[in-house]
Every structure is written in structure tokens, then in C-alpha cells.
């Protein structure tokens, strides 16, 4: 018992995706509303549940009871009216509070300093485009932290390239669906630097489970530095690294470029993630695998073994080509 209690408290504290540990305004507001709703429903549960329990115990049949049937009561207008009116009052109160939070969140005015990001859901990864900053990246969203005194929220304009997805980072905000042929928006303003996790919350196909979300909230300086680095095309100078140079040739000659973009090269495909700064990311495979050279090599050899159902086909490269492509990709900082 004690063990499981300890486990329980640990579980709550350890989860990086608890909705009760908000770190941005929309999640704070949802949390605030949830506390009100939880206390009201708890009150109702204790009252009604208590009455039920009392009735079940108090009015149970006892051996000492007389044989005849209890008094037949067919109803009571006063009582029935009261248990219609009281719930109506509770509902009205809850409704008004909820409405306020809805409008507060969804109709919040957008400050001019807000960062704009276009989010495009794909089977089974995320594409992020910063149209004003000329940056394109995948799976790891970088946003500036927002000072409540001088908010710099990030506005996400979302659509999908294929099926329905949903963007959910519980500590930052509730989810918003990402739907093809439709543009949804939401905003986040993380107040503490750090990594916030989440994942696709709308079933989108075979690998829905491994369509993970990573949001890096950075101080304004770090964010500016990251943007600056991401704006550069891939470094064309591979002269000091013959393996990488050969890898680049292999990459450009194979079908890789049909799906992947590496800025500054002939690779301009948009079906798969942009790889211009692949090596600057912590993870591959939409956040499900650490970005190490070994994992990368394994991934290129057979993506399906790490993420069954992924749309990237195995490239059937020989060991040498795998080595040099991996060497090339690890230079893409």
C-alpha cells in the first residue's frame, strides 16, 4: 500500500506532461478553471453520493422489519422542483465562468511582437515554418520565453498535409486539431525556459503513437542565436571531411532529395522533414529516437525497424554508403 502510494506521488511528480503543472498562460487558465470545476463536482459527488450511501444503509431490509410493504410515495412537487432549480443555478454559474475562460483564451488580442510559426502536420512528423524569419525546421519547435510583463507569445497557425492531427503540449496549452484544408490557430507563452513535451493527440494513422512534440522555450538571446544559426544554408565546405563529401554526393544522387530539403543544395523535396540543420536537433523520427550517429545510420538503413509504418522507405544502401551518408548528415549543424 505504502509502496503504491509512493509510486503514485512519484508518478504525478515525474510526468513531464501533467496538465496540473502548467507553464504557460492558456494552460494556467485551463488549470484554474479545472480547479473550480473539480471542487464543484467533488461537492456534488459528496452530497449526492453521501445521500445515496445513507439511503442504501438506512433503508435496507432488516429481519426485524414488519412483513408489510413500506408506505408508497409517488412524488412530491416541492422536492422535485428544488432538485430541478438548484442544479440549474449551478449550471448557470459554471457556464458563465467557462464562457469567460473560452473568450479570454480564444479571443486574446495578438501583440505585434508575437512570433509567428506555421505548423504543418504530416504522417507522422511536424513541420515548423517561421515565415517572417525565413526558418524551416521539423519536430523540434523553438520559441522564446515570454515575460508576463512584456509578453512575447508564439502564435501557431496550423494545417495538415494529409490526415487530421492534434497539437498537444499539456504544460503549455490545451490541444488544437490540425486539419487539412483548414487553418486553426493557437498561442503559447512559456514563462520558464526548458523543454516541454507532448504528442499528436488525434489518431492520424499507423504511427500516431510516435508523432511526438518537443517545444524548446529559450531566453530571448538564445532564441535569437538559434534563429540566426537556422537561417544559414548548410555549410558547403566539406573539404576537411572526405567521408562527408562523398556522403553528400550519395545523398544527392539518391531518392533522398525527392523528399528532403537541404538548403543550398539541389535537395528541395518537401514530403519529408527539412534536413538543413539536422545535426542541431536532439532527436530524429519525430522525437522518438535520440539523434546519435548510430541511430541515424540505423534509421536510414531501415526506418521501419524503429518506427513501423513510417512513410520513409528503406533506401537499400550498402554499408559504405550508409557510413558516408551518416557522416554527411552529422555535419549539418
Partner 1 sequence: MAITTPVLAAIDQTLTRRRPPSTVLYEWVSTVDHKKIGLMYIAYGLIFLLIGGLEATLMRIQLAVPNNHFVSPQVFNRLFTMHGTTMVFWVGMMVLFGFGNYLVPLMIGARDMAFPRLNAFSFWISAFGGVLLYFSYLAGDGLYGMGSAPDVGWFAYAPLTAKVFSPGHSTDYWTLSILLSGIGSTGTALNIVTTTICMRCKGMKMMRLPLFVWLMLVASFLVFVAVSPLTAAQIMLIIDRYLGAHFFDTQAGGSAVLWMHFFWIFGHPEVYILVLPAFGFVSEIIPVFSRKAIFGYPAMVAATVAIGFISLSVWAHHMFTVGMGPEGNTFFVFSTMVISVPTGIKIFNWLGTLWGGKIIFKVPMMFCIAFLFQFLVAGLTGIMLSAAPFNWQLSGSYFVIAHFHYVLVGSIITALFGAFYYWYPKVTGRLMSETLGKWHFWLFIIGFHLTFDLMHVPGLLGMPRRIYTYEASRGWGWLNLLVGIGALFQAAGTLVFVYNLVRSYYRGEIAGPDPWDAWTLEWATPSPPPAYNFAVEPTVYSRRPLWDLKHPEDQDTEYE
Binders of partner 1 in range 215-254 (CB under 8 A): none
Orientation of helix 77-106 relative to helix 25-58, angle to 10°: 160
Q: How far is CA 103 from its chain centroid?
A: 22
Which residues in 106-125 contact partner 1 (CB under 8 A)? Answer: 106-107, 123
Which residues in 293-322 contact partner 1 (CB under 8 A)? Answer: 308-309
The angle at the Cα of 55, spanning 51 to 60, to the nearest 5 degrees, equals 160
Applying CB under 8 A, which part among 8-16, 217-225, 276-284, 321-329 lies near partner 1? 8-16
Q: Which three cell numbers stand for residue 331?
A: 555535419
Residue 185 binds partner 1, judged by CB under 8 A = yes
Q: Which three cell numbers stand for residue 75?
A: 412524488
Residue 172 binds partner 1, judged by CB under 8 A = no
Strand order of the β-sheet with 140-144 is 140-144, 212-218, 194-199
Single residue of 116, 155, 177, 191 touching partner 1 by CB under 8 A: 177
Residue labelled with grid coordinates 488549470: 31
Shortest distance, CB of residue 193 to partner 1, whole angstroms?
Answer: 20
By beta-carbon proximity to partner 1, the closer residue of 56 and 150 is 56
* Residue 192, CB-side half-sphere exposure with 13 Å CA sphere: 8
By beta-carbon proximity to partner 1, the closer residue of 52 and 113 is 52
Applying CB under 8 A, which part among 104-112, 219-227, 239-247, 260-268 lies near partner 1? 104-112
Applying CB under 8 A, which part among 58-66, 130-138, 239-247, 313-321 lies near partner 1? 58-66
Single residue of 151, 174, 194, 269 touching partner 1 by CB under 8 A: 174
The count of other CB atoms within 10 Å of the CB of residue 290 is 12
Residue 155 binds partner 1, judged by CB under 8 A = no
Q: How far is CA 44 from its chain centroid?
A: 33
Which residues in 18-37 contact partner 1 (CB under 8 A)? Answer: 18-20, 26-27, 29-30, 33-34, 37
By beta-carbon proximity to partner 1, the closer residue of 23 and 324 is 23
In sequence order, which residues have a C-beta less than 8 Å from that of residue 176 and are 6 or more positions away? Answer: 156, 158, 166, 167, 184, 185, 186
Give CA–CA dist 294/326, Å, rounded.
Answer: 8
Residue 168 binds partner 1, judged by CB under 8 A = yes
By beta-carbon proximity to partner 1, the closer residue of 217 and 332 is 217
Amino acid at each position: 500500500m505504502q509502496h503504491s502510494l509512493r509510486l503514485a506521488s512519484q508518478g504525478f511528480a515525474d510526468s513531464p506532461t501533467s496538465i496540473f503543472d502548467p507553464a504557460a498562460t492558456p494552460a494556467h487558465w485551463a488549470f484554474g478553471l479545472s480547479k473550480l470545476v473539480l471542487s464543484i463536482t467533488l461537492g456534488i459527488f459528496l452530497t449526492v453520493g453521501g445521500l445515496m450511501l445513507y439511503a442504501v444503509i438506512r433503508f435496507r431490509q432488516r429481519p426485524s422489519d414488519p412483513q408489510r410493504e413500506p408506505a408508497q410515495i409517488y412524488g412530491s412537487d416541492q422536492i422535485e422542483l428544488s432538485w430541478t432549480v438548484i442544479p440549474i443555478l449551478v449550471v448557470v454559474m459554471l457556464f458563465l465562468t467557462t464562457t469567460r475562460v473560452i473568450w479570454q483564451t480564444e479571443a486574446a488580442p495578438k501583440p505585434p511582437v508575437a512570433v509567428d510559426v506555421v505548423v504543418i502536420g504530416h504522417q507522422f512528423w511536424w513541420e515548423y515554418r517561421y515565415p517572417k524569419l525565413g526558418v524551416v525546421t521539423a519536430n523540434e519547435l523553438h520559441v522564446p520565453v515570454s515575460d508576463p510583463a512584456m509578453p512575447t507569445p508564439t502564435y501557431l497557425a496550423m494545417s495538415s498535409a494529409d490526415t487530421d492531427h492534434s497539437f498537444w503540449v499539456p504544460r503549455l496549452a490545451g490541444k488544437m486539431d490540425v486539419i487539412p484544408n483548414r487553418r486553426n490557430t493557437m498561442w503559447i507563452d512559456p514563462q520558464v525556459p526548458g523543454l516541454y513535451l507532448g504528442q499528436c493527440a488525434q489518431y492520424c494513422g499507423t504511427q500516431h503513437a510516435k508523432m511526438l512534440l518537443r517545444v524548446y522555450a529559450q531566453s530571448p538571446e538564445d532564441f535569437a542565436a538559434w534563429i540566426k544559426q537556422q537561417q544559414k544554408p548548410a555549410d558547403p565546405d566539406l573539404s576537411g571531411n572526405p567521408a562527408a563529401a562523398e556522403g553528400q554526393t550519395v545523398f544527392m544522387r539518391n531518392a533522398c532529395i525527392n523528399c528532403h530539403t537541404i538548403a543550398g543544395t539541389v535537395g528541395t523535396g518537401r514530403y519529408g522533414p527539412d534536413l538543413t540543420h539536422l545535426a542541431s536537433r536532439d532527436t530524429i523520427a519525430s522525437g522518438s529516437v535520440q539523434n546519435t550517429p548510430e541511430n541515424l545510420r540505423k534509421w536510414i538503413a531501415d526506418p521501419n525497424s524503429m518506427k513501423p509504418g513510417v512513410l520513409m522507405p528503406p533506401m537499400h544502401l550498402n554499408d559504405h554508403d550508409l557510413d558516408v551518408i551518416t557522416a554527411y548528415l552529422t555535419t549539418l549543424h
